[in-house]
Chains A and B, each alone.
Chain A
Amino acid sequence: MGLLDARISNRNVLVTSVDNVMNWARLSSLWPMGFGLACCAIEMMATNASNYDLERFGIFPRSSPRQSDLMIVAGTVTMKMAEKVITLYEQMPEPRYVLSMGSCSNCGGPYWNHGYHVLKGVDRIIPVDVYVPGCPPRPEALIGGLMKIQELIRMEGIGITRQEALKKLAEKSVDPQQIIDQARRATA
């Protein structure tokens, strides 16, 4: 439940915890680092552009890892690039989040067997919070992944580790089939 979904009294006073306010501020201004590695980056750029307009979520690419709190690994991570990805990740200030976008960065994708030059999953070198499947994923899928990151931030708080927050997120997961069926029934 979002902070603003709570009822605000007629005197415009909202009573909540500091954790909630902090989380609300952080998840409403996720700044990803602007770097793309392959065709997924084209979808990421399309998601940033006017049709899908990521700025309505406060998501806006930054050109420096030091100003970013989210890394979208958009594309094929080659062995040559892997060490640079580690460096960029280490340059990001904490708390930082990693979204692995597309099959290549999830698990090597089409290069899993014969791609001698491809890292078979970016989670071999940096911890990944959210995986977005697809080759490449559509902008809607990327937005879905970004909203998962926002949900993850909502789960966090003082004294809660990232692992615990991820576990809470997994426990709160919704079976998408029901939503799909519901949407189909509505359009039928």
Chain B
Amino acid sequence: MDNGMEEAGNIMSAAVQESKAAYDSIQARFGSAVSEFDANPTMPFFEVSDLSKWVDIALFMRDDPRLKFNYLACLSGMDYPEQNQLGIVCNLESIGHHPHRIAVKVKCPRDGGAIPSVSCVWHTANWHEREAYDMYGMTFDGHPDHRRILCPEDWTGFPLRKDYQVQDTYHGIKVPY
């Protein structure tokens, strides 16, 4: 009984198998530039281990007829203080072509880290990357309009970092309660 349940847990659902197939095409093309596939049932993902290949991977994922990831549903920022890293998570889908979806994680060093911008691949990434920069502080190389998007342009610090401390005053106005 226990073994049976364990086996059932290990079997990938049809949706995850679709994502695995998409990952296999990417892995066949880029080899060690991408990490192992993680069959997370909520959102299967892989990581880009070679940062310089990220734009090429993105273009391949968008244009290859087997993949056609034409829709960047979300781009979120992440802070990993234990690994001393920042990162982004891109949720990708293929509207009107394939039923598969996958998440791509890209990480960079926490201090002065930079990630190549994919705003030329998916225009959605333009504002999302600005938001990730605004909240976490990684730079996006090649971004056409690299500014904060929500906070004032002269704001100090990056509010969603785990160790963020709010500034005492902003233009002479007290900030903390």
Contact = CB atoms under 8 A, between A and B. Distances in A.
Contacts of A168: none
B82 to A, nearest CB: 22
A117 B166 CA distance: 9
Contacts of B176: 120
B12 interface: no
B69 to A, nearest CB: 33
A117 B151 contact: yes
Contacts of B159: 116-117
A124 B151 CA distance: 20
Interface string A97-141: 000000000001000110011011000110000000000000000
A124 B173 contact: yes
Given A79-B152, A80-B151, A113 B177 contact: yes
B contacts with A: majority SS: loop
Contacts of A119: 173
B172 to A, nearest CB: 10
B134 to A, nearest CB: 11
Contact of A116 (B164, B171, B173, B174): B164
A50 to B, nearest CB: 36
B80 interface: no
Contacts of A116: 159, 164, 166, 175
Given A79-B170, A116-B164, A108 B152 contact: no
A164 interface: no
A82 B173 contact: yes
Contact of A79 (B164, B175, B177): B175
A112 B174 CA distance: 13
Contacts of A112: 177
A61 B159 CA distance: 36
Contacts of B171: 82-83
Interface residues of A, number: 13
A112 B151 CA distance: 17
Interface residues of B, number: 14
A47 to B, nearest CB: 29
A83 B171 CA distance: 9
Contacts of B164: 116
A79 B173 CA distance: 8
Contact of B152 (A80, A120, A125): A80
A109 B150 CA distance: 20
A82 B166 CA distance: 17
A119 B169 CA distance: 11
B170 to A, nearest CB: 5
Interface in A65-83: 79-80, 82-83
B173 A125 contact: yes
Contacts of A80: 151-152
Interface string A32-58: 000000000000000000000000000
29 contacts: A79-B152, A79-B155, A79-B170, A79-B173, A79-B175, A80-B151, A80-B152, A82-B170, A82-B171, A82-B173, A83-B171, A108-B177, A112-B177, A113-B177, A116-B159, A116-B164, A116-B166, A116-B175, A117-B150, A117-B151, A117-B159, A119-B173, A120-B174, A120-B175, A120-B176, A120-B177, A124-B173, A124-B174, A125-B173
The 10 A-B residue pairs with the shortest CB-CB distance, nearest first, are: A116-B166, A120-B177, A80-B152, A112-B177, A79-B170, A116-B159, A82-B173, A108-B177, A125-B173, A124-B173
